[in-house]
Structure 1
Amino acid sequence: MAVWIYDIYIHFVMHHNSEVRIGHSLNTQEKEFITRREQTVQECLKKLGIPCQDKVPKIALLGSGGGERAMLGLLGSLDGFKETGLLDCVLYLSGVSGSTWCMASLYQDSDWSTKLDSVREKIIDRLKGPAVSWSETFSKLKKYYKEKDIFSLTDVWAVLIVTSFVKESDQLLNASIYLSADPWVEITPYEAGYSLTGAFVDVSRFGSQFEEGSKKKDQPEVDMLYLQALCGSALADEQNIWEAIKDFFKNLFQRKEENLVEVWNEIPSSSIDDAGQILMDLVEMNLLTLKGKDTSDLDKTIRTNLLDGTLPSILVESEKRDYEDAGLLLNSPYISVLRQERDIDLIISLDFSDGDPFMTVKDIAKICKNQNIPFPKVIVPSGDIIMPQDFYVFEGYKKAPTVIHIPLFNTVNSDKVEEWRKKYSTFQLSYRADMIDPLLEVAGKNITNNKEKLMEEIRKIMKR
């Protein structure tokens, strides 16, 4: 299966004979993938008693953001699709924020869809296992600093925050995994760029520097942890992020919380104190910079204590482009699958959001109306916002795709929707081991309970 995940701003300057592809057409490799995948879809539909001769329906499965709740929700949903026999009907799998954490874990095995059970168990075992050690954490942070021309907040977020959720620190990006960041930008297994303006580069050049359309400088291989952080920075405002990290450090280094005891014992208290002070100084320096205040004293201290006189100027001044979790703009990856060139017939929207479980589909309906993109009318009964059902269909018309919308917590799989929402919040530390299986089960039931309804909508698409 292909991965499409949204979230990254990249700037390209056009030039003759450039390495930037200009145009809205699909990449040649993507077209070849679609041809191969359509054969799989056709065989799957035949097994389900839905024969298709001329045109295979193009189905896109979307996973919204929502932190670890979204990560586990997507994993449980995919398990449900496998159980119903519908997994191979899907042409595109796409996600933002927390859903990308799941996708990144899946795509560490390029054949994951054919052996989902074993891949799923590996992920669950890891999430239930111990946290990444502090020695690994600091080693990773130092590695990012030494190897990158631009050492940014995303690196800190990756090592200190994302690691605590995904519980791995050094997975490299293999040939079939690609993630991205902002609704109008996408990264596929083949290329990355702006879907709105139609400017793309080969994905192998992702992270490199370009000038006038030609590659100027390579960057080290991008690893999965960094990409997960890029796709899942839960706070958009830079100062808010630094404040959050500052509070995180205060709690971490001043309290020996129960789930940190084993990790805490790995290194001497003196090392903890030193490391904590260095990191706190780094955070404080960024906050002062944002406020336009002098940071020279902190700069000197950090140079002396940790970085041997080579602190990057990026921390105090630089021309930069900021990255933001797409989930903060539109918490589901609709934009990419709605590209006219992809010609999607059916969108299955898995919503793992906090708050209004229909916000994503209502927001994209408004965006599509403003952008003249075909999209069905979205009308949701007011009472369903608080107590949603488990299956909604917004009928497509003319060139608009049909949209199936499935809220994670609903009155069908539970009579205590609000309790589930409070128990599985977005902004909390990684879920306890005993919280994981119930969440996977709830997500899976949303699919298995609706197998016949899903098949009926596919039949309607075939007739249309």
Structure 2
Amino acid sequence: MALSMPGSSLLSVRILKAHGFPSKDILTQSDSYVSLWLPTASSQEFRTRTVRNCSNPVWNQTFRFRIHSHLKNLLELKMFDQDFMTKDDPVFSVLFDVGTLKAGESHRESFTLNPQGQEQLDVEFCLQSFPACPEQLITNGVLVARELSSLDVKLEKIESTLDNTESDSRVQALMPGSYEGSQTIISGTSPVRFHSPTCWDSELSVKLQDTSQEVLKVPLKSLPSGHAVKVSLPTTKEPALMMQLKTEKCPEEPAVRLGFGLCQEEQAFLKKRKQVVAKALKQVLQLENELPEDEVPVVAIMATGGGIRAMTSLYGQLSGLKELGLLDCVSYITGASGSTWAMANLYEDPDWSQKDLAGPMAAMRAQVTKSKLSILAPSRLQWYRQELKERAKLGHPACFTNLWALLNEALLHDEVPHDYKLSGQQEALEHGQNPMPIYCALNTKEKNLSTFEFGEWVEFSPYEVGFPKYGAFVPAELFGSQFFMGRLMKRLPESRICFLEGIWSNLYAANLQDSLYWSSEPDQFWDRWAQDQVTLEKENTPLLKMEEPPSVTSRIAKFFMDLLTRRPMAGAIHNFLHGLHFHRDYFKHPHFSAWKGTKLDGHPYQLTPAEPYLCLLDVGYFINTSCPPLLTPTREVDLILSLDYNLHGAFQQMELVGRYCQQQGIPFPPIALSPEDRKQPQECHVFSDPESAAAPIVLHFPLVNDSFQQHSAPGVQRKPEELAAGEVNLSTSGSPYHYSKVTYSEENADKLLSLARYNICNNQQRLLQALREALAHRRQRHQRHRQGQE
């Protein structure tokens, strides 16, 4: 929502003195200074003067910041020992929450490393109300988009009789804190544009070509908005140069949607889809009366990853649901990694779920069983190289993920390039004729943290791409374009869907620590994550965060941690959250709280909006599931058909989802299993929580070969000569369906398709019973909603 919020204040920070800090240099005393950084008020990092050769420096210097009280304003103070030969040595660091100050009062704080220590930095704070026009903020209670201003700069030559040169004149223009930073301006060309927050005291500085001499500095607040101003550049060289400057406010409405509700397009789709679902439910459940819209349950398919195995199995299971007349009962399909390949293929046909799936299955089977050797032919490699060059020219960052996307496209399609886009799938939802697809990925850090330590769920639909954690979404066709403070800076052509499939199944952005988790039992990692969550709940956003200078031991540990956590082949996508600030109460917001998962969540300057690029990879490096989009309360999912394609552990990933939800306070049924279930998993298991109206019912289908071994169809016993067709090797080692296998034999492909289809059809009665329970679940929701309104 957009709010004109009075809340401007003037923060004065007086750095007084320090004492008790030992010198970093054995031979001399410290040459100390303090830096101040408050990103919500200025892009500039300020610093005191250096007090030389003194163990108890006194500065008595004051710095002033204009802040907005509705933002999370965290001031970072760092003390350094200046060194002219090497990098300055860090001595002390502290993070202070300005929101704890009261307007009109002075507050003195003595920061110490520990209660017993003698080291101390004394700082005085004063917060005063600042009479100014209210700033227009757009916020969802977690993120905040602030007002932006643009500055157009044009360089012109002043005609001179001495000017006989034909060459263009150039200057270097710099605006700290702007989206563009620095730009070269050439005389006689179109103006260049800078974007910066309106509330900041931004300045334009200009340097002449091939020199470091600054010849002009212009504060933006000195320029009249909407009017061009001409300024001569002071230079003795010919020709003389003139700059034309014009500043304007940017459009108030951002291109990033800040909100935790469903977008209008998804709401319209659900309204149409419920008509299809109501008709299908009446038929399969043999209901006497028509279902009113508010009693139509929301049923979703949740498919995991698993490479070609997941893609093939999903085709088989969807064909089983189609055969039973149940596919029209489903409103959502979510996928991750390999299952997204099946979804992306199917949704190229706007009416795929209304047709016989034999054709799409045959086309998929042909791709699975074809030889893949040609994808590495020299001519094909040359084509990949050219494609990547063209993509880079458009403005997309170059990364290894793009090459993997092209290889993946060649694996799954004969026609290359395959010109199809995510937004093109909107046609398949226009009349509510198909379930809505949602694709999942994880955003993580490029270095310093594993996916298990920092992973944020990202969802992709034909309408939007976004973060449920932050409540921030962009239209699917704008994903990959360049944004700043929620505004669209540069629109890039929408990527072909193969580049998104490369993200959804991106195994190559993993680091060594991710691989260690993925190749071993995850319990030890998960227990540590759960313990960190308890600490995170208690921590909240810190008032103070002390940091000691790095010791030799900590530097060695950091070196090895860098080796473990660096992602040499990380993907890079322009970050549409870049530049957005945080609301002062973001940490308490219920939607943010439900999806936080790292100690960095208490430190907004280290979260995703501070990054210029997203680092996206396969969800399997955390939990191999596509469940999170179905757990957002706005979608109100009643029944989840969990299609699990893991070979290792029929319930392992489902149990991890359950533990994750329990830690986060997300309604989800307990995953209670008997010893018999663990020893011999069945084709279908039901999990529910009668005590929670918000928790969905989960019907879990692990990839098992149970009664299929003896039955060619439900209730049809195999003949002796047919028993070989029921032997499907799903072992964790030596299986022809291992995730590393990209080519199946025709026999193995047919076996897996038949098994997946059979496991659905053999549980028709359980599916129907689950739909009846989902109908009752929806009616219970509706009744509680009506009672709440009364």
Matched-pair contact (CA < 8 Å) for 2:705–2:755: no
Do structure 1's residue 53 and structure 2's residue 291 form an aligned pair?
yes
SS at match of 1:348: strand
Q: Please report how far the alpha carbon of residue 87 of structure 1 lies from its aligned counterpart in structure 2 after TM superposition.
A: 0.7
Q: Give the SS at the match of 1:370.
A: helix
CA contact (8 A) 1:179 1:227 kept: no
* Aligned equivalent of 1:14: 145
**Do 1:44 and 1:88's aligned partners in 2 also have CA atoms closer than 8 Å?**
yes
Which one of the candidate residues 396, 399, 403 is aligned to 1:152?
399
Residue in 1 aligned with 2:266? 30
Contact 2:647 2:731 in 1 (8 A): no
Q: Distance in 2 between matches of 1:188 and 1:460?
A: 28
Alignment check: 8 A CA contact 1:172 1:222 kept? no
Contact 1:236 1:328 in 2 (8 A): no
- The residue that corresponds to 2:694 in the other structure is 399
Within 5 Å, give how 1:262-301 maps onto structure 2: none
Give secondary structure in 2 for the equivalent of 1:327. helix
Pair 18,85 (structure 1): closer, same or farther in 2 beyond 3 Å: same
Q: CA deviation at 1:13?
A: 7.4
**1:398-457 deviation digits (Å, cap 9, x = unpaired):** 221100000112323348676555231112232233321111000001111011110011
Which of the numbers 158, 163, 166 marks the counterpart of 2:410?
A: 163
Match for 2:278: what amino acid?
A: Q
2:360 aligned partner, one-letter code = V
Q: 1:291 to 1:456 in 2, by over 3 A?
A: closer
What is the rounded CA distance, in whole Å, between the counterparts of 2:765 and 2:754 in structure 1? 19
1:323 is displaced (CA, Å) by 1.6
Mapping for residues 191-230 of structure 1, pairs under 5 Å: 191-230=464-503
> What count of residue pairs does the alignment treat as equivalent?
382
Q: 1:459 to 1:234 in 2, by over 3 A?
A: same
Query: What amino acid is aligned across from residue 346 of structure 1 in structure 2?
Result: L
Partner in structure 2 of residue 310 of structure 1: none
How far 1:346 moved relative to its partner?
0.3
Question: Which residue type is aligned with residue 500 of structure 2?
Answer: L
User: Distance in 2 between the 1:188 and 1:357 partners?
Assistant: 28
Deviation of 1:331 after TM superposition, in Å, equals: 0.9
Question: Which of 748, 751, 755 does residue 438 from structure 1 map onto?
Answer: 751
CA drift of 1:167 comes to 5.8
Distance in structure 1 (CA, Å) of the matches to 2:281 and 2:273:
12
* RMSD (Å), alpha carbons: 2.7
1:186 aligns with 2:433: no
Q: Which structure carries more strand by proportion?
A: 2
* Percent of residue pairs identical: 32
- Residue 33 of structure 1 deviates from its aligned partner by 0.4
Matched, 1:354 2:647: yes
Counterpart of 1:73 in structure 2 is: 313
**Rounded Cα–Cα distance in structure 2 between residues aligned with 1:375 and 1:417:** 32
Amino acid at match of 1:118: G
Secondary structure of residue in 1 paired with 2:364 = helix
- Counterpart of 2:628 (choices 309, 312, 335) is 335
Secondary structure of 1:406's counterpart equals: strand
Aligned with 2:425: secondary structure?
A: coil
Between the aligned partners of 1:187 and 1:104, the Cα distance in structure 2 is 12
Once the 2 structures are TM-superposed, how far is the Cα of residue 17 of structure 1 from its aligned partner?
Answer: 1.9
For 1:207-244, what per-residue CA distance to the aligned partner results, in whole angstroms no more than 9, with x for missing partners?
101011111122233112211111012354257999xx
Cα deviation for residue 126 of structure 1 reads 3.1
Q: Distance in 2 between matches of 1:186 and 1:122?
A: 27
TM-score (norm 1): 0.76
- Larger deviation: 129-138 or 69-78? 129-138
| TM-superposition CA deviations, 1:183-227 (whole Å, max 9, x none) | 621111111111122111111111101011111122233112211
- Pick closer, same or farther for the CA change 1:387–1:425 going to 2, 3 Å: farther
Q: Tell me if structure 2 keeps the 8 A contact 1:144–1:151.
A: yes
Partners of 1:88 and 1:291 in 2: how far apart? 42
2:138 is the counterpart of 1:138: no
Q: Which secondary structure state, in structure 1, belongs to the residue aligned with residue 616 of structure 2?
A: coil
What is the match of residue 707 of structure 2? Answer: 412
Query: Structure 1 regions of 5+ residues with no counterpart?
Result: 1-11, 243-286, 293-317
Name the structure where helix makes up a greater proportion of residues: 1
Corresponding residue number in structure 1 for 2:120:
none
Pick one of 351, 370, 374 that aligns with 2:663. Answer: 370
Check whether the contact 2:384–2:403 (CA below 8 A) recurs between aligned residues: no
What code does the residue aligned with 1:187 have? F
SS of equivalent residue, structure 1 residue 192: strand
Question: SS at 2:441's partner residue?
Answer: coil
Comparing 133-142 with 83-92, greater Cα deviation is found at 133-142
Amino acid in the other structure paired with 1:138: Q
What corresponds to 1:424 in structure 2? 737
Answer yes or no: is the 8 Å Cα contact 2:401–2:503 preserved in 1.
yes
Query: Aligned to 2:765, which of 424, 428, 452?
Result: 452
In 2: Cα distance, 1:50 partner to 1:395 partner: 24
Q: Which has the higher contact order (CA 8 A, sep 6+)?
A: 1
Residue 113 of structure 1 corresponds to: 353
CA contact (8 A) 1:81 1:447 kept: yes
Q: Judge conservation of contact 1:408–1:443 (CA < 8 Å) in 2.
A: yes
Partner of 2:425: 176
- The answer to whether the 8 A contact 1:409-1:420 is kept is no
Residue 383 of structure 1 deviates from its aligned partner by: 4.7
Name whichever of 45-54 and 444-453 sits farther off: 45-54
CA distance in 1, matches of 2:567, 2:273: 52
Residues 229 and 386 of structure 1: is their aligned pair in 2 closer, same or farther, counting only changes over 3 Å? Answer: farther
Question: Is 1:62 aligned with 2:302?
Answer: yes
Secondary structure at the residue paired with 1:85? coil
Quote how far apart the aligned CAs of 1:107 are: 1.3
Aligned AA (1:407): P
Query: Which moves more between the two structures, 131-140 or 39-48?
Result: 131-140
For structure 2, the 5+ residue unaligned runs are 1-142, 147-251, 427-437, 443-455, 516-562, 569-610, 711-726, 778-790
Letter of the structure 2 residue corresponding to residue 117 of structure 1: A
Does 1:84 find its partner at 2:215?
no
Distance 1:167 1:424 in 2: 22
